[in-house]
Amino acid sequence: MATGRGRPSRHRLLGQQEPRGPYHGGGTACGRTGAAAGCSGASRFRRPSGPAGGVRVARKGRGVKSSAGDTALKQYAQGSPYWDKSFSNCSVYLDRMPSEILLKIFSYLDAISLLCTGCVNRRFYHLANDNFIWVRIYATAFSPKRSNWKVNSVEETAVSVSLLSVEDKEAGYWKKTYITKQITSVKAALTQVLKPVSPYTGLPVKIKEALRLSGLGWGIILKEKNGREYIIPHVDFSLNDTSVTVVWYGKNWPCLATLITLNLCGMTPVFMDRYKAYAKHGPRWHSLIAKYDLRHLNESTMIGCDRLIRIFSLDPGLVVGVWKKEEELAFVMANLHFHHLVERSTLGSATVPYELPPHVPFLDDNPEYGLHGYQLHIDMHGGGVFFLCSTFRNLFTMKGCIEDGYVKFTVINFKNSREHLPLIGKIGLAWRTNIFDTFIESCSVMDVTLLDEHRKPFWCLSSAVHMKPAACPSDGPHFLGQTFYVDYNDVEGRVHAELVWIEETEEYFIVNLVLYLSVAKINHWFGTKY
């Protein structure tokens, strides 16, 4: 009935990493485009310095060059400290230039640079919204393909758009139009990529391609009691069979005592070209995935500890590590199931999470016979090593197996020793920071994917769990070894597993695995009245 055993993870940590320098708390100073666009690095825009007589600007061809400005701009792009030092001695300010000259300069910028420039001050914001600049960018990106050999230049294509349609529109119209069409095109491409579904898990098979296409990353927003926010992009993430594990760590975390909430968001580049690498520090859209109350970090949510840290589990799927000595943040880990992951990470807003389309109930031909033909895929892993990877098919339960508002699915039975499964390797949840790299015993991440009889994902979860010694023996058979329990529950169901430690072989065996599905969830899914 069960297939597969524990094995090492095939997907190691990917190379998409954010800079590991100190975190900055400039979240609130970071400009946003629209309701949910974030800008990284825009608040550090500086004005180039030059000689006392000013910067000589000479027109050569189609470019704009300056005798003293080129070096400064190159050093700014590389993050050179020269830029900050020369700012105090700057004798020429860009915002003192006439608007006509600034508009001419802005016309040579790309879309990302224009958005960042608009975050400098109010005047730059209005100038960077100029319709004539944005209609040229729009025409460049979305000019129609021609079948003849004669191809008009970008300027001719832009002129082909009626000047009246530019002049009659309010400022920023073509910027909004361009951004909207960019997002629509990326969403359409993602929809096509996510269509193929694996019969093995019922999930999209091209998750990695979808992540690459969208440039998707994740970030956390820490909010203090005084309203100040810290936006921190992820440091690393790793792909598992049915989930992704995202981690944040660093040295300069804000004081934990002043924090009240943590928001987990998907972060997608505003402008994405599927054929080019995305700008890591460009403006991004934020899509809220979940909100967490950091005041719930107490004994009831603690799942493990070692000599350095304590770890806490907050639903859904968040693990927070706290230093024992300083009582400050050490790391944050988010476990995200693949089911609707791309939609939740890209289609929400900065304040409102993505809502699934209204569910149309499936027709249950035999409601009196209970549930049948279900399939369960379960993984247990920690830090790139899989302890369990198994699939159970043809699961069923009768209508009479309803207890306290839950329908009981027995996956592994006490009495059938052929169903008992071993966990491979030493069980533990790996964690790391800039300095330490270790793991906490008896903890792991559990991924559950339950498919209904139509092979549609019915219940999916990814969460950290821990093994706790059984206080008293269960009602089933007695085994020669210590018994441990692993439990998980949310509003849609519960998971209960019993494990036995076999001293001779030094491994754990799962001797009992039961799922409890909420009757309310089943009635909503099938339109029944259990």
pLDDT digits (tens, 9 = 90+) for 245-254: 999 999 889 9
**Taking a C-beta distance cutoff of 8 angstroms, is the pair 164, 181 a contact?**
no
Asked whether residue 440 is domain-assigned, the answer is yes
Q: Is the pLDDT of residue 55 over 70?
A: no
**In terms of domains, do 185 and 218 share one?**
no
Asked whether residue 81 is domain-assigned, the answer is no
Nearest to 428 by CA among 340, 518, 304, 270: 304
Q: Which of 160-174, 204-218, 281-295, 427-441 has the lowest mean pLDDT?
A: 160-174
- CATH code at 119? 1.20.1280
Pick the last residue of a domain from 135, 166, 192. Answer: 192
**In terms of domains, do 290 and 335 share one?**
yes
Residue 528: count of CB within 10 angstroms of its CB = 16
Report the mean per-residue pLDDT for the chain: 78
**In terms of domains, do 310 and 257 share one?**
yes
Asked whether residue 159 is domain-assigned, the answer is yes
**In terms of domains, do 258 and 336 share one?**
yes
Considering only residues 125 and 52, tell me which one the structure prediction assigns the higher pLDDT. 125
Quick one: pLDDT at residue 364?
65
**In terms of domains, do 243 and 380 share one?**
no
Considering only residues 78 and 464, tell me which one the structure prediction assigns the higher pLDDT. 464
Q: What average pLDDT does the segment 208-225 reach?
A: 90
How far out from the chain centre does Cα 264 lie? 7
**In terms of domains, do 312 and 436 share one?**
no
Q: Which residues pair with 375 in a beta bridge?
A: 451
Q: Is the pLDDT of residue 313 over 70?
A: yes
Q: Can you tell me whether residue 437 is helix, strand or coil?
A: strand
**In terms of domains, do 268 and 399 share one?**
no
**In terms of domains, do 333 and 237 share one?**
yes
Q: Is the pLDDT of residue 367 over 70?
A: no
**In terms of domains, do 394 and 284 share one?**
no
Contacts of 436 (CB under 8 A, 6+ apart): 308
**In terms of domains, do 237 and 378 share one?**
no
Quick one: pLDDT at residue 434?
87
- Three-state secondary structure along 290-337? EEEEHHHCCCCCEEEECCCEEEEEECCCEEEEEECCCCCEEEEEEEEE
Q: Is the pLDDT of residue 57 over 60?
A: no
Strand runs (DSSP E) across 413-492, as ranges? Answer: 421-423, 428-432, 437-441, 443-451, 457-466, 468-469, 483-489
**In terms of domains, do 160 and 290 share one?**
no
Strand runs (DSSP E) across 27-150, as ranges? Answer: 37-38, 57-60, 63-66
Nearest to 510 by CA among 394, 372, 384, 380: 380
Asked whether residue 457 is domain-assigned, the answer is yes
Asked whether residue 502 is domain-assigned, the answer is yes
Asked whether residue 53 is domain-assigned, the answer is no
First CA to last CA distance, the chain: 28
457: preceding bond cis by omega (within 30 degrees) = no
Q: Can you tell me whether residue 130 is helix, strand or coil?
A: coil
How many domains is the chain partitioned into structurally? 3
Q: What average pLDDT does the segment 229-247 reach?
A: 93
Quick one: pLDDT at residue 15?
36
**In terms of domains, do 307 and 448 share one?**
no
- Give the residue numbers spanning the domain of 99: 94-145+153-192
